[in-house]
Structure 1
Amino acid sequence: MASSHEIGERLSYDGALCTVRYIGPVAGTSGSWLGVEWDDPTRGKHDGQHKGVRYFECKIKSPTSASFIRPTRPHDGKTDFLTALHEKYATEHEAQKPIVFSTKVAEEVGFAKISRQQAQLHELKIVILDSLRLVYAYDPASKRDKSIRDVCPSIVELGMSRNLLTKFGPVVEICSELDEVKALRLNGNRFADVSSEDLTHASTSLRGIKELALEENLLTWSEIVVLASHFPDLTTLLAASNQIPFLTPIPSSSSLNSTLTSLNLEFNDLTTLSSLSPLTSLTALRNLHLKNNRISTISHPASTSPPPIFPPSLHYLDLSSNLISTWSFVDLLPVCFPGLSSLRFAHNPIYANPDLDSPVPSSSSSPLSLPKSGGGGTEESYMLLTSRLPSLRTINFSTITPQDRTNADMFYLSRIARQLAAVPESDEHLVLARHPRYAALCEAYGAPVVSRTKEVDARFLEGRVVRVCFRFVSSAQGDEPAREKTVRLPKSFDLYAVKGIAGRLFGLEPLELKLVWETGEWDPVGGFDEEVDSSEDEDEEKEEEGREEGDAGGGFVKGEGDGEGGKAGRWVEREVELGDGPRQFGYCVDGMEARIRVEVAG
């Protein structure tokens, strides 16, 4: 008995959508089976291979996206556009039972009015026909009494996602009767042949549509381009979640090259910016969304091609939630995106840990656990991004103020100086090669002072002592300058002995003193991260609204004293209290010199 099903057919079982990938026998069983690929990849039991035999291939990359079903199993009925429209908006539902909370009956207010408004089909402007088993423009088995144009001529936004569409012809036919449509969403359908005769004269029918959503369709980039090119006025294309690993060239005849201003390729499998080279032909492109891909490098390591250069019209770039782990990637962004002014970069490895590719960490190398500001590495990352990319006006939806820029530049210069101090003068060029903005920063702010520690042999006395400047600060002194005493202390002294010496120097009881090591390093102020790195939900809300909120930062904080030229801004000097204990002094401070503030314990 011949099967009534065909390969590529879309079916629905109790609302669960699937695509027929195989029709035939299965070893060890009798009769015929349908091998189906579920839209929900967790619903199946295998990936098309059963008991060691491969029966079909699935498009979804999941080990549980497929099942075998008997052809005789009843499936949900298929429907046409007008039937789905009436089912969604004009069906007279039976009176609902009253909602009871405890012993009180809840009164529904306003729902009847909304239902009456929606029932006026000719006035509907936004129509969502998702998950209604839609296949046809018109039911081929029924007489056509009314046209789509007569029933709902005012539709501006049309959604037909997650239906049973396999051909684009019905979409073209529906849109040909809707002159006001500006946005069309077809997510989650499975279009089988995008180059068929269905699209021969599609451009005329699809004229005027400016936004097209083809997400989760499992289409290749070339198939998406074929479909999108039939929309002559298209400005926004959403092609997220299609498992796209790379892009193929866009034909020069495609209207996309001159009309497309916003492209969404989120949640795909892109790994390099060079794989996006075909987009350089989109001369009107302004916004590029690449969140949640696997991008880690500009080009493939084996590639000798120069990095792609995107049109200067591209101002907004979203690279959040990728795998970027080097600052060299960031340094090349102005080369690839000469018009870039807004960047979203959160949730990348280098943003969470700015020292990931640094030869010299930002935190002290002391074995002590030094206090960091509340947000981890993201405050530093924000400032490094700000300074490395001077053309940016916003980062992660936060506006960069002139004060932010100055603070970031000074912080970046201090980081470079620290790296220079850690290498011999003969190797300075190796460090500076990692910081292409160094010359420009020095011109604007002056070259930083690079203090290299002279290497000493620990076998000699010089290598076993620390030159310590004790600075006594007392509230009783008023405006008098702090008293300072400089001594040389063996590294082998424990902290008890160090505190005793400080007490003798200033004529105080050691037990009354508190010693604070002033490291000379600077940390961003805790809490700044909450302003610049908002949650995913908040970011999505801002992105949906198209708003780029300014930084909420108010007053600036200065560290204790005015060291380092009075570095006012969103950072404070890092300090470490040296508590009592038998720990050797040499393990508690860095280098051959240390500055310690002496205070009377409160």
Structure 2
Amino acid sequence: MNKRVQDADGFRGSVRYEGPIQGKNASTVYWGVDWDDPSRGKHSGESGGVRYFEAAHPTSGSFVLPEKVSLGIGILEALHERYMQSEDLDSRAAGRVGTSSGSSKPIQLVGVRKIQEKQDLGVIGKVSVEGSQISHIGNEGELYRVAPNIVELNLGFNLLSSWSEVLKLSTELPQLEHLVLSGNILTYDVDVAAPLVTFPTVHVLVMHYTRTSWGDLLRICRDHFPALRELHAASNQLTDDALRQAADIPSLLEVVDLSHNQVTEWSSVESAVGTWPRLHTLSLNGNNLAQIQPPAPSSSLFLQLASLSLSNNAIADWASIDALNSFPSLEALRLTRNPLLMNVGSAEARMLVVARCASLKVFNSSDVRLKEHQDAEHMYLKRILHEKATVSAFSNRTTLLTHHPRFPELQSLYPDICAAHDAATTTLGATTGPAALAKSLAKVTFVPMSMNATTMDTMVKALPLSMKVAQVKLLVEKKYGLLPTQHHLSFRASKKAMPMPLDDDNGELGYFGVQEGGELLINDLL
């Protein structure tokens, strides 16, 4: 009942029932198959009111005749088909030789196919037999005699069905370091009373789409892969409750991929992998995480975590980004396609994330240089000061620090920016306070960079920091003949600074960090 099969169209499934079915010839044996792809099936394992098996999905089950599906082949046969030159005979011509009669005849090399196999597979180190319908490893010693030097083996999307079969590889491939088992629905059927079979040299294990439970994943790592450094287990339907299961810690694991599962709560991630002492790379793409909580100051959570991937989640608040700043070793972050960043321009989103995470060196696969980090922090600090001056709720320091926990640190790093803010406040008079600061002016230079501008002359103008971007665009239209829908604006504090797009027409100039002496760049919309 644990056979894996594949049909003529390449669909794979597990046999869950063997026997007759109601309404058909009683002597005909059918196989009830639970297909990996539900679109291949027709029902849940029930037919004519009779339950024959329980399918994993309401439409993933169907009945087939045994001769309509394949039970697979051995790994040696797959290796020969994938890597050997196709020859129908064990002999071939190797040139011609003259005869006594003056004619010539071909030289036949008998057994050349067997020799070629031994030469090719005997030295090969990286092997991929993905999608080759492999269902078994073969007899003991066969694979070792033919291909003993395999270091990296991809057995993805085959017909392997049990761990007892997979474990046979341990004696066949003594140098194996990287094993891919993705797409094989494997039952853990190992006799717990038998001596443990291990892969002492395997560092990387890839098990995407295997429907393996979290408990079994941890047991497999602990009992059979003592040297494992990387575990890739995406798309295994892992839930928060599953991740919270107590288990022994695979202390050597450094890289873990739990992408495209069903994880929604950060606390379950903490329970599952947060205390692993060597974990430095964690991928959680394609889950449904909405919030990240900072680790408690006295905790030992994620102490070595340097790289975190959170693309395609549901993160929607800046508090989650602020929480990441509490991870002591975090240097690389991937955060594409989250609601939080879909409501702002890409440049502004990058600036805010970089500024809120002090140690970030890579964001969305792009390096963060020191100059960019400093520019982002400058801009972010100016925004905080602007909000402090114009948003009444932020006059309360506790509220301000809740929204901007890095504010005290940035004040210490850039006292000149704070001094300029204080000077502007003093100049406007203590009696008028924040309201006056909101009306203060900044003299900036308009720099046309659009080929459609009626003039390429620059324009110097003092603008209120409370002025909205939409109003500035009207000034551009009047001076340069560019409709608001035809151009976009960006600001840079100096010619060496990174331009910051003013991509919110309702945003005030002060919010974007516009300051005295800077430049407003006018570009065509792409």
The alignment's TM-score, normalised by the length of structure 1, stands at: 0.63
1:117-516 counterparts in 2 under 5 A? 120-138=120-138, 147-197=142-192, 200-203=195-198, 206-229=199-222, 230-246=224-240, 247-249=243-245, 251-252=247-248, 256-257=250-251, 259-276=252-269, 277-298=271-292, 309-335=300-326, 337-354=327-344, 377-420=345-388, 421-423=390-392, 427=396, 429-446=398-415, 447=418, 448=421, 452-453=434-435, 514=479
**Residue 112 of structure 2 aligns with which residue?**
none
For residues 391 and 399 of structure 1, the distance between their equivalents in structure 2, rounded to whole angstroms, comes to 12
**Equivalent residues of 1:11, 1:17 under 8 A apart:** yes
**Residue 35 of structure 1 aligns with which residue?**
32
For residues 234 and 287 of structure 2, the distance between their equivalents in structure 1, rounded to whole angstroms, comes to 10
- Of 206-215 and 13-22, deviating more is 13-22
- Residue by residue over 1:248-284, the C-alpha shift from the partner in whole angstroms, topping out at 9 and shown as x without a partner, is 45644x5x21x21111111111112211123133211
SS at match of 2:265: coil
Shift of 1:242: 0.6
Alignment CA distance shift 1:425-1:286 (3 Å): closer
**Equivalent residues of 1:290, 1:319 under 8 A apart:** yes
Q: Out of 478, 499, 504, which is 1:571 matched to?
A: 499
- AA aligned to 1:297 is Q
**Equivalent residues of 1:524, 1:570 under 8 A apart:** no
- AA aligned to 1:341 is E
**Residue 73 of structure 2 aligns with which residue?**
79
Alignment CA distance shift 1:196-1:210 (3 Å): same
For residues 332 and 589 of structure 1, the distance between their equivalents in structure 2, rounded to whole angstroms, comes to 27
SS at match of 2:187: coil
SS at match of 2:168: helix
For residues 479 and 503 of structure 2, the distance between their equivalents in structure 1, rounded to whole angstroms, comes to 13
**Equivalent residues of 1:316, 1:341 under 8 A apart:** yes
Shift of 1:223: 0.8
Aligned residues: 441
Structure number with the bigger relative contact order (C-alpha 8 A, sep ≥ 6) is: 1
**Residue 109 of structure 1 aligns with which residue?**
none
- AA aligned to 2:499 is W
For residues 485 and 74 of structure 1, the distance between their equivalents in structure 2, rounded to whole angstroms, comes to 77
Shift of 1:332: 1.1
Percent identity at matched positions? 28
For residues 589 and 279 of structure 1, the distance between their equivalents in structure 2, rounded to whole angstroms, comes to 43
**Equivalent residues of 1:274, 1:307 under 8 A apart:** no
**Equivalent residues of 2:393, 2:399 under 8 A apart:** no
For residues 13 and 161 of structure 1, the distance between their equivalents in structure 2, rounded to whole angstroms, comes to 17
- AA aligned to 1:434 is H
Shift of 1:444: 2.1
- AA aligned to 1:37 is D
**Equivalent residues of 2:253, 2:276 under 8 A apart:** yes
Alignment CA distance shift 1:589-1:309 (3 Å): closer
Shift of 1:422: 2.5
- AA aligned to 1:35 is G
**Equivalent residues of 2:307, 2:333 under 8 A apart:** yes
For residues 442 and 370 of structure 2, the distance between their equivalents in structure 1, rounded to whole angstroms, comes to 37
Shift of 1:19: 0.8
For residues 26 and 389 of structure 1, the distance between their equivalents in structure 2, rounded to whole angstroms, comes to 62
1:98-113 counterparts in 2 under 5 A? none
**Equivalent residues of 1:44, 1:66 under 8 A apart:** yes
- AA aligned to 2:60 is S
Alignment CA distance shift 1:405-1:171 (3 Å): same
**Equivalent residues of 1:118, 1:124 under 8 A apart:** no
Alignment CA distance shift 1:467-1:250 (3 Å): closer
**Equivalent residues of 2:489, 2:503 under 8 A apart:** no
SS at match of 1:155: coil
Alignment CA distance shift 1:241-1:484 (3 Å): closer
**Equivalent residues of 2:206, 2:232 under 8 A apart:** yes
SS at match of 1:184: strand
Shift of 1:310: 2.8
**Equivalent residues of 1:238, 1:263 under 8 A apart:** yes
- AA aligned to 1:12 is Q
Structure 2: state its 5+ residue gaps: 90-114, 426-432, 447-458, 465-470, 482-487, 511-515, 517-526
**Equivalent residues of 2:333, 2:363 under 8 A apart:** yes
For residues 480 and 236 of structure 2, the distance between their equivalents in structure 1, rounded to whole angstroms, comes to 60
Alignment CA distance shift 1:89-1:427 (3 Å): same
- Residue by residue over 1:98-121, the C-alpha shift from the partner in whole angstroms, topping out at 9 and shown as x without a partner, is xxxxxxxxxxxxxxxxx9689622
Shift of 1:348: 1.3
For residues 48 and 196 of structure 2, the distance between their equivalents in structure 1, rounded to whole angstroms, comes to 47
**Equivalent residues of 1:20, 1:35 under 8 A apart:** yes
SS at match of 1:42: helix
**Equivalent residues of 1:270, 1:293 under 8 A apart:** yes
For residues 192 and 461 of structure 2, the distance between their equivalents in structure 1, rounded to whole angstroms, comes to 90
- AA aligned to 2:334 is R
**Equivalent residues of 1:168, 1:198 under 8 A apart:** no
The alignment's TM-score, normalised by the length of structure 2, stands at: 0.71
- Residue by residue over 1:359-389, the C-alpha shift from the partner in whole angstroms, topping out at 9 and shown as x without a partner, is xxxxxxxxxxxxxxxxxx2111111111111
For residues 264 and 319 of structure 1, the distance between their equivalents in structure 2, rounded to whole angstroms, comes to 11
- Residue by residue over 1:482-530, the C-alpha shift from the partner in whole angstroms, topping out at 9 and shown as x without a partner, is 79999xxxxxxxx9xxx9xx9xxxxxxxxx97499xxxxxx985xxxxx
For residues 393 and 22 of structure 2, the distance between their equivalents in structure 1, rounded to whole angstroms, comes to 72
- AA aligned to 2:127 is V
- Residue by residue over 1:181-207, the C-alpha shift from the partner in whole angstroms, topping out at 9 and shown as x without a partner, is 11111111111225535974212xx11
**Residue 463 of structure 1 aligns with which residue?**
none
